[in-house]
């Protein structure tokens, strides 16, 4: 009648064709390898392709203004320092020019700006405040994705026996992110797999049984990585994607395999044949992981609401790896179990003693909680709410080089840049766009001249550069007269300003401020610029670091309510279809939201407020706006595993005996050990990623570890028994009409065999 019976038949089919099914898995592994070789390139940073003002302004500027510097390339910065020599001394200059000479002769370098190559009045911009360091800006012909490949060669060309030479800037920072992310991924895998094997051996008491989930995990990682790289051939996929996809894939693959292997071994232990055990396992645990995968996909679908950022592609990649994990859990794993049969228990380790039903620690624990439900539920909720309080002062900002570890050379050099006047300015690019006219028409010039003066008068503005702001001594009438004439007859400064600051319909104002890009002062200045009155029919659009920062934050904030509502509503519907109750899904969603809020609060306390920063090796900073979205999307779906196991066992017993309290105790007795083991494995996986050196990956790993820990302990082992005891029989209530609908649809299961794991809820 339902998915349970259908999957029972699938289990028997896998038993009959176990070797071909195993062969199919090997073929798919080969295809995954091909996908890894043929995949595209991941994108550095967080590409924005939505209709944000900053993105529209950047597109307008790029389309309208053809810079005299030629096609956009990339750049890096060299810092030359000496404790003894002054940067303006002849000896210092000679050493810098000698060190830069190999770059001057390299065809891949288009320009080098340093204190000794710029006009005298600009020299101070390239010298540090203490006078002992000089800066050289090296411009390359190729974009960063290309120049990263040969940048190390260029860097090795720059040597000095007298001066300390450091490198930072666009290309080395992006390269450092790529290298560090790869290192983080290797480290996480190196730690996770052995640690997970140890935990699995402790859970199963058998080396053979413990190795199977790791095999599924390896297959899921390979398939997920291949799918992610292939996806990057069609859309922008962030460089963070492989780390996130590996994290999700490894966690769910091992978790799902844990359920499958445990159920199969239990069926064999109770005397079933291998074929019958495979059938029952698929009808129960197989059905469970199918619907668990569905709920994880629902959670990840929240990221599809953020079209135009890398989150949408991340959601698709995450759904791919979850689907792959479920697929291998329903094919490769049962095929291996059917081949092994009783040999799945080979290489046993007698670490635990099985208890008789009714005398286990989890049974006693459940009764202990249910004897005093309010006494335990109240403090548990208070703990979660207190943990969530720091989330109330959440401050978000897009990450930059400060997400790299503080001891990395490129980060050390980056932190010194504010000592140089040319690098401590935040630039707002203000595009004045005339859709139906020229920016150089007399009336337009007059309006732009006044606009430039207003910009210069704003608090925090140190300079305004534009074709109508060349010199404060030039009156508006001169600009109007000269720009109405022959451009070739203009003075050189005006020709240069026009080339770099105007297009057929656009004039660009570069507004400089000492306020850091993500500071409150810079955001206030941005609001003032954007609140300027209309300019004679022209549009005023602002881009730059601050504008991109605040636009992405607002974009995410605006779409989050709809994303959360969608995930909660669809999850509620799925849980109703699986439990037949309208109460259990509500309880599940509310408790899950409370535990997520608690983990978010802990995340703010650690990463924004800076607690544990020295221990974990990062600089305290605002939370990247994508982190809460990623955490919510992953956690909301992933913690389904525990509720699947616990509530389905409770429902099985409730339908057999009709005793709500006993059902909770027996359900926790049968699933408590597996819940604890699954949570321990998940936390191990996430903490391995929490050791990452890139802050965004570190914060996601630690955030997920905290969320799972809270969910598997306070929520699953305290709040769920307490709330279920308080609800009693009402937990399974549904209006008559909905109960009939659920019975007609037939997803609730009809027998003990089918009820053993497929019923899902969520707390």
pLDDT digits (tens, 9 = 90+) for 557-598: 999 999 999 999 988 888 887 778 899 888 888 888 898 999
Same domain, yes or no: 228 and 300: yes
> For position 247, what pLDDT does the model report?
87
Nearest of 293, 255, 275, 337 to residue 21 by alpha carbon: 337
At residue 141, the 3 state secondary structure works out as coil
- For 461-482, letters b (16+ CB in 10 Å) and e give beebbbbbbbeeeeeeeebbeb
Confidence tier at 761 by pLDDT (50, 70, 90): very low
Q: What is the C-alpha to C-alpha distance for residues 249 and 427, in angstroms, rounded to an integer? A: 41
Same domain, yes or no: 145 and 266: no
Token pair listed for 733: 């209530």
In a domain, 598, yes or no: yes
Same domain, yes or no: 666 and 585: yes
Q: What is the C-alpha to C-alpha distance for residues 126 and 271, in angstroms, rounded to an integer? A: 80
Q: What is the C-alpha to C-alpha distance for residues 428 and 460, in angstroms, rounded to an integer? A: 12
Residues 6 or more apart whose Cβ sits within 8 Å of residue 175: 148, 151, 152
Q: What is the C-alpha to C-alpha distance for residues 114 and 131, in angstroms, rounded to an integer? A: 14
Q: What is the pLDDT averaged over residues 455-465?
A: 93
In a domain, 18, yes or no: yes
Whether the CB-CB separation of 551 and 275 falls below 8 Å is answered with no
Q: What is the pLDDT averaged over residues 200-209?
A: 88
pLDDT tens per residue, range 139-168: 999 988 889 999 999 999 999 999 999 999
Same domain, yes or no: 248 and 368: no
Question: Sign of the CA dihedral 22, 323, 40, 154?
Answer: negative
At residue 512, the 3 state secondary structure works out as strand
Instruction: Compute the mean pLDDT over every residue in the chain, rounded to the nearest whole number.
Output: 87
Confidence tier at 359 by pLDDT (50, 70, 90): low
Nearest of 174, 55, 177 to residue 549 by alpha carbon: 55
pLDDT tens per residue, range 707-743: 989 988 898 889 989 998 998 888 888 898 888 887 7
pLDDT tens per residue, range 240-291: 888 888 888 888 898 889 889 988 998 999 899 999 999 999 988 888 788 7
Which of 174, 192, 225 delimits the end of a domain? 174
pTM for the model: 0.85
DSSP state of 534: P
Helix (H) or strand (E) holding 540: strand 539-543
pLDDT tens per residue, range 77-131: 999 999 999 999 999 999 999 999 999 999 999 999 999 998 888 888 899 999 9
CA-only gyration radius of the chain, Å: 31
At residue 85, the 3 state secondary structure works out as coil
Which of 545, 560, 579 delimits the end of a domain? 579
Which of 174, 192, 223 delimits the end of a domain? 174
pLDDT tens per residue, range 160-195: 999 999 999 999 999 999 899 889 888 888 888 888
Same domain, yes or no: 262 and 315: yes
Whether the CB-CB separation of 644 and 341 falls below 8 Å is answered with no
Q: What is the C-alpha to C-alpha distance for residues 248 and 212, in angstroms, rounded to an integer? A: 18
Per-residue pLDDT at 657 exceeds 80:
no
Confidence tier at 351 by pLDDT (50, 70, 90): low
Residue-level length of the chain: 763
Domain count, the chain: 4
Same domain, yes or no: 568 and 589: no
Question: Sign of the CA dihedral 400, 403, 406, 411?
Answer: negative
Same domain, yes or no: 548 and 447: yes
147, 432, 467 from 513: Cα distances, Å: 30, 19, 19
In a domain, 751, yes or no: no
Residues 6 or more apart whose Cβ sits within 8 Å of residue 640: 291, 292, 295, 296, 760, 762
DSSP secondary structure letters along 711-724: IIIIIIIIIHHHHH
In a domain, 758, yes or no: no
Whether the CB-CB separation of 454 and 540 falls below 8 Å is answered with no
Nearest of 226, 298, 147 to residue 636 by alpha carbon: 298
Residues 6 or more apart whose Cβ sits within 8 Å of residue 629: 302, 303, 306, 311, 556, 560, 563
pLDDT tens per residue, range 590-602: 888 898 999 999 9
Nearest of 280, 272, 228 to residue 249 by alpha carbon: 228
> For position 44, what pLDDT does the model report?
67
The separation between the first and the last C-alpha atoms of the chain, rounded to the nearest angstrom, is 28
> CB atoms < 10 A from the CB of 108, how many?
16
> What are φ and ψ of residue 563, in 5° steps?
-65, -45
Cα angle 512, 516, 517; round to 5 = 80
Tokens 């059917």 sit at which residue? Answer: 338
Nearest of 289, 326, 394 to residue 703 by alpha carbon: 394
236, 350, 403 from 45: Cα distances, Å: 10, 50, 12
Q: What is the C-alpha to C-alpha distance for residues 73 and 145, in angstroms, rounded to an integer? A: 10
> For position 354, what pLDDT does the model report?
52
Question: Sign of the CA dihedral 751, 756, 761, 763?
Answer: positive
Whether the CB-CB separation of 763 and 588 falls below 8 Å is answered with yes
> For position 746, what pLDDT does the model report?
61
Whether the CB-CB separation of 640 and 647 falls below 8 Å is answered with no
460: left (phi over 0), alpha (psi -120 to 50) or beta: left
Same domain, yes or no: 592 and 520: no
Q: What is the C-alpha to C-alpha distance for residues 181 and 689, in angstroms, rounded to an integer? A: 10
In a domain, 540, yes or no: yes
In a domain, 96, yes or no: yes
For the domain that residue 317 is a member of, what is the CATH number?
Answer: 1.20.1640.10
At residue 218, the 3 state secondary structure works out as helix
Range of the domain at 133: 73-174
Confidence tier at 393 by pLDDT (50, 70, 90): very high
Same domain, yes or no: 458 and 567: yes
For the domain that residue 138 is a member of, what is the CATH number?
Answer: 3.30.70.1430
Per-residue pLDDT at 311 exceeds 70:
yes
Q: What is the C-alpha to C-alpha distance for residues 601 and 486, in angstroms, rounded to an integer? A: 62
Per-residue pLDDT at 45 exceeds 80:
no
Q: What is the C-alpha to C-alpha distance for residues 676 and 717, in angstroms, rounded to an integer? A: 9
Q: What is the C-alpha to C-alpha distance for residues 708 and 691, in angstroms, rounded to an integer? A: 17
Same domain, yes or no: 245 and 130: no
Share of the chain above pLDDT 90, in %: 49
Whether the CB-CB separation of 749 and 701 falls below 8 Å is answered with no
pLDDT tens per residue, range 478-510: 999 999 888 888 888 888 889 889 999 999 999
DSSP secondary structure letters along 14-43: HHHTHHHHHHHHHHHHHHHHHHHHH---PB
Same domain, yes or no: 96 and 23: no
Per-residue pLDDT at 38 exceeds 50:
yes
pLDDT tens per residue, range 362-374: 888 888 999 999 9
Same domain, yes or no: 318 and 333: yes
Tokens 């982190």 sit at which residue? Answer: 627
In a domain, 85, yes or no: yes
Per-residue pLDDT at 396 exceeds 90:
yes
In a domain, 349, yes or no: no
pLDDT tens per residue, range 516-538: 999 999 999 999 999 988 787 88
């Amino acid at each position: 009648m339902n998915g349970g019976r259908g999957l029972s038949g699938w289990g028997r089919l896998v038993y009959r064709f176990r070797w071909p099914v195993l062969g199919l898995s090997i073929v798919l592994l080969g295809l995954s390898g091909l996908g890894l070789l043929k995949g595209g390139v991941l994108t550095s940073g967080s590409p924005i392709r939505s209709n944000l003002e900053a993105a529209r302004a950047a597109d307008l500027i790029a389309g309208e203004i053809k810079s005299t510097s030629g096609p956009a390339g990339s750049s890096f910065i060299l810092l030359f320092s000496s404790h003894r020599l002054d940067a303006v001394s002849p000896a210092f200059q000679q050493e810098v020019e000698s060190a830069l000479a190999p770059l001057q002769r390299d065809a891949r370098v288009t320009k080098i700006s340093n204190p000794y190559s710029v006009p005298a009045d600009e020299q101070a911009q390239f010298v540090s405040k203490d006078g002992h360091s000089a800066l050289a800006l090296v411009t390359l012909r190729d974009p960063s994705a290309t120049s990263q490949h040969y940048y190390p060669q260029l860097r090795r060309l720059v040597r000095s026996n007298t001066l300390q030479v450091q490198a930072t800037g666009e290309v080395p920072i992006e390269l450092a992110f790529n290298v560090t992310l790869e290192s983080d991924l290797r480290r996480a895998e190196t730690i996770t797999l052995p640690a997970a094997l140890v935990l699995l051996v402790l859970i199963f008491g058998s080396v053979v049984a413990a190795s199977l989930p790791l095999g599924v995990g390896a297959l899921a990682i390979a398939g997920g990585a291949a799918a992610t790289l292939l996806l990057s051939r069609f859309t922008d996929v962030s460089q963070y994607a492989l780390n996130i996809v590996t994290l999700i894939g490894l966690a769910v693959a091992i978790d799902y395999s844990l359920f499958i292997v445990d159920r199969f071994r239990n069926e064999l232990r109770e005397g079933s044949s291998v074929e019958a055990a495979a059938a029952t396992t698929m009808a129960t645990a197989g059905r469970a992981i199918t619907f668990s995968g569905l709920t994880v996909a629902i959670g990840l679908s929240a990221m599809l609401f953020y079209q135009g950022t890398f989150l949408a592609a991340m959601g698709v990649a995450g759904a791919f790896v979850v689907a792959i994990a479920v697929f291998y859990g329903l094919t490769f794993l049962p095929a291996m179990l059917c081949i092994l049969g009783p040999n799945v228990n080979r290489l046993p380790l007698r670490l635990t003693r099985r208890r008789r039903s009714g005398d286990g620690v989890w049974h006693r624990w459940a009764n202990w909680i249910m004897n005093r439900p309010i006494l335990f539920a109240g403090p548990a909720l208070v703990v979660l709410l207190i943990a969530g309080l720091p989330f109330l002062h959440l401050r978000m900002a897009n990450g930059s080089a400060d997400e790299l570890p503080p001891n990395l050379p490129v980060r050390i050099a980056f932190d010194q840049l504010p000592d140089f006047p040319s690098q401590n300015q935040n630039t707002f690019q203000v595009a004045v766009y005339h859709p139906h006219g020229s920016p150089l028409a007399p009336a337009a010039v007059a309006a732009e001249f006044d606009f430039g003066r207003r910009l210069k008068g704003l608090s925090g503005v140190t300079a305004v550069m534009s074709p109508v702001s060349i010199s404060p001594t030039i009156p508006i009438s001169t600009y109007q007269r000269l720009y109405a004439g022959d451009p070739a007859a203009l003075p050189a400064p005006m020709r240069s300003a026009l080339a770099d600051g105007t297009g057929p319909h656009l004039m660009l104002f570069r507004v400089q401020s000492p306020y850091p890009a993500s500071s409150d002062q810079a955001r206030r200045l941005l609001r003032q610029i954007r609140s300027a009155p209309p300019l004679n029919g022209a549009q005023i659009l602002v881009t730059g670091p601050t504008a991109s920062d605040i636009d992405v934050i607002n974009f995410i904030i605006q779409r989050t309510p709809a994303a959360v509502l969608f995930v909660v509503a669809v999850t509620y519907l799925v849980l109703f279809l699986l439990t037949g109750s309208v109460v259990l899904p509500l309880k599940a969603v509310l408790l899950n939201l409370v535990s997520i809020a608690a983990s978010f609060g802990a995340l703010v306390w650690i990463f924004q407020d800076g607690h544990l920063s020295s221990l974990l090796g990062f600089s305290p900073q605002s939370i990247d706006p994508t982190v809460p979205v990623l955490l919510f999307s992953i956690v909301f779906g992933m913690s389904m595993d525990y509720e699947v196991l616990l509530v389905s066992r409770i429902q099985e017993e409730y339908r057999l005996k009709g005793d709500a309290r006993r059902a909770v105790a027996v359900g926790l007795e049968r699933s408590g050990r597996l819940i604890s083991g699954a949570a321990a494995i998940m936390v191990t996986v996430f903490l391995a990623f929490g050791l990452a050196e890139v802050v965004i990956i570190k914060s996601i790993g630690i955030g997920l570890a905290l969320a799972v820990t809270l969910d598997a302990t306070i929520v699953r082992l305290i709040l769920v028994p307490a709330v279920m005891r308080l609800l009693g029989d009402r937990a399974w209530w549904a209006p008559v009409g909905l109960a009939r609908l659920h019975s007609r649809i037939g997803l609730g299961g009809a027998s003990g065999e089918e009820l053993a794991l497929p019923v899902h809820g969520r707390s």
